[in-house]
Structure 1
């Protein structure tokens, strides 16, 4: 039977159980294109980001099995056709590719590497793990090695773009791992945004951490400019419009400027998670022997938000710290 008409799992079974050398088997498996008709997907973590991302794949025609620690958060996905699993292990046992986007590195380790309930323990030979959480580069390398020992693959693919990027399918995806596997996964990345191959395992995480360092200082500059404009007697809304097409125009301004003036602090990206990310950045800076004072200042300011019990707000809530520091309050946008 010609190759295009062989069912994916039948073909992979023939490849993986033949006497063909492992390197050739991997190339043959990678050559089978991913499509809704031959690839079952799993998704672990259906929060602010994961829910929209997962929905894009369901609407693209893929069969998805999902898991969330709080099952009610997965209900909107079940309503559009997803299946609910009882554990990450159960997700993986029903999937060819498993995505994760959870909170912290400890969560990543638990949902992927736990020997009893983790996804890798339930993944069949040839399966692929795609971790989209911002996490430790060293953990990405560890997961990749563990997956390889089971004749599976792991890609670290953290994302940037916040809740709007997730909803609009315009995320920046930073991928680390085997380049041929990243290319194989492009049909799954395309509904989510633009994938950027950054290098070997862990390099996706390094790219995302550099991205967070850039965002942190940009957000501080945006907020300080708004405070200064207000104290100088400017209409802050007019000021933001004026700078948006100049050299100060940024994605952070586009995403958060008007939200701040509307006092909309709903999380597109949680302060708690940003504090986690910047903490990982500082730890990696120590390993690399570099000092980034802007990063250190931003971390202190965001830790202040968390200390005030505002960790579940969005990162744009940084305005609250500067308002307290300067004893001012920006007038809300009417």
Structure 2
């Protein structure tokens, strides 16, 4: 079973590494070629183009930043004719559910299997092969690729094409809103005179306990905001959530409010800061309030520009 992996970024690199460690034959591609070539000493073969990567692949995995990039890489740069007949495309990127449905229809019509299978777990889950994989598409196709998913984490079949992306929308709504809630809770405690680290420890034993409080709450206390998942991507996912809700005639006020805060954060140039860095936006809103006096570690603010075609 030969796999092509497109997108060797923060998530793609450890995922591809785990596939190599599981014994799969792997061809890798990334727009910044050096990121793909870095896997060659570990047994991967680097392709110069997406078309070259997919032509002999039984399974093609894409792990790219957004829908337009996935569309460009799979359907324009690679092109349907480059895929091996009967191959399976697994898009593990986070893209709009409707776009996933369109991709499924295009590939299936050409005799190529398709799953939308976004993930949750961040770079830690990617490195530890403990990702939560949410898959939409044919159940038969889902069952057939279980050896691949097993090398990356735990997979759940959600339903027909687009369902995996709907599950990811649900995931990112909870993540974004909870990051906001943890930020507000810890800052409130600190401003009232409590030790936010002790507050976090106490909350971990009660109903407020969550993975976000555990990991991102610690990031906030340590003020360590180098990205595991960027605020830019969180904003993109929240935009997808709101667009999808609008299409279903739903109003999601909490998602809307968190979206606005991430949007304001990115307007200050903090697009590459970890999404737990929403605390920085909350502190800016409440100056001179600050969670603690520790120095902040985070990527430098950069001017806003078009991010639609950034490397994954």
Change (3 A) 1:119 1:81: farther
| Superimposed CA distance per residue, residues 37-66 of structure 1 (whole angstroms, 9 cap, x where no aligned partner) | xx0000000100010011000001111000
Deviation of 1:332 after TM superposition, in Å, equals 4.8
Corresponding residue for residue 19 of structure 1 = none
Q: Which of 43, 50, 70 in structure 2 is aligned with 1:108?
A: 70
Whole-Å Cα distance in 1 between the matches of residues 85 and 180 of structure 2? Answer: 46
Q: Does 1:147 align with 2:120?
A: no
Deviation of 1:132 after TM superposition, in Å, equals 0.4
Corresponding residue for residue 245 of structure 1 = 205
Corresponding residue for residue 47 of structure 1 = 9
Whole-Å Cα distance in 1 between the matches of residues 141 and 74 of structure 2? Answer: 18
Corresponding residue for residue 42 of structure 2 = 80
Q: Which runs of 5+ in 1 are unaligned?
A: 1-38
Aligned residues: 294
- TM-score under structure 1 length normalisation: 0.86
- TM-score under structure 2 length normalisation: 0.92
Structure 1 residue ranges (4+ consecutive) displaced by more than 4 angstroms after TM superposition: none
Corresponding residue for residue 277 of structure 2 = 317
Corresponding residue for residue 262 of structure 2 = 302
User: Following superposition of structure 1 onto structure 2, how do residues 260-299 of structure 1 map, counting pairs within 5 Å?
Assistant: 260-299=220-259
Deviation of 1:71 after TM superposition, in Å, equals 1.2
Corresponding residue for residue 235 of structure 1 = 195
Whole-Å Cα distance in 2 between the matches of residues 151 and 126 of structure 1? Answer: 6
Q: Which runs of 5+ in 2 are unaligned?
A: 296-312
The answer as to whether partners of 1:91 and 1:119 remain within 8 angstroms in 2 is no
Instruction: Please tell me the root mean square deviation across aligned C-alpha atoms, in Å.
Output: 1.2
The answer as to whether partners of 2:191 and 2:291 remain within 8 angstroms in 1 is no
| Greater Cα radius of gyration, structure 1 or 2 | 1
Change (3 A) 1:318 1:188: same
Higher relative contact order (CA 8 A, sep 6+): 2
Corresponding residue for residue 122 of structure 1 = 82
Corresponding residue for residue 219 of structure 1 = 179
Corresponding residue for residue 331 of structure 1 = 292
The answer as to whether partners of 1:137 and 1:203 remain within 8 angstroms in 2 is yes
Secondary structure in 2 aligned to 1:318?
helix
User: Following superposition of structure 1 onto structure 2, how do residues 24-39 of structure 1 map, counting pairs within 5 Å?
Assistant: 39=1
